[in-house]
Amino acid sequence: MVPDTFGAVTLLVVAERAAALVPGFRTFLQACSLPGDPGGSLGREGHRLATEFDRLHGWVADSPGPPGQEAEQTCLLTALRHHRMIIHDALQLTFPKVRTRYLLDQAR
């Protein structure tokens, strides 16, 4: 009988893809912390990153976990969810929904 290693390979591929997103994630967070107008491209980049982390999370959540690697699957799901939540929080803080003239004047 051939062991089913598809689940383990899937976890590894998703982890590698998530690791490839980390440099962009760090650059995005650093750009969010800078003073001044963030610009629309930063918002689009944050949305792209959040979408990618969400997509990877969905792949792991929907795939059957490899036997004996439930802890690894849970850890990967937690890390992907954590990164996605940080991006959403950074977007909300960088691009507040309400930008009145008063708030803009107070920021100066």
pLDDT tens, residue by residue, 96-105: 876 666 666 7
Please indicate, yes or no, if residue 33 is contained in any of the structural domains.
yes
Please indicate, yes or no, if residue 2 is contained in any of the structural domains.
no
Please indicate, yes or no, if residue 32 is contained in any of the structural domains.
yes
58-74: average pLDDT: 87
DSSP 68-102: T-HHHHHHHHHHHHHHHHHHHHHHHHHS-S---HH
Domain count, the chain: 1
Residue 63 clears pLDDT 90, i.e. is over it:
no
Cβ of 30: how many Cβ atoms within 10 Å? 9
Please indicate, yes or no, if residue 6 is contained in any of the structural domains.
no
| Domain enclosing residue 40, as ranges | 11-107
Residue 50 clears pLDDT 80, i.e. is over it:
yes
Please indicate, yes or no, if residue 5 is contained in any of the structural domains.
no
Confirm if 46 and 19 have CB atoms less than 8 A apart: no
Please indicate, yes or no, if residue 46 is contained in any of the structural domains.
yes
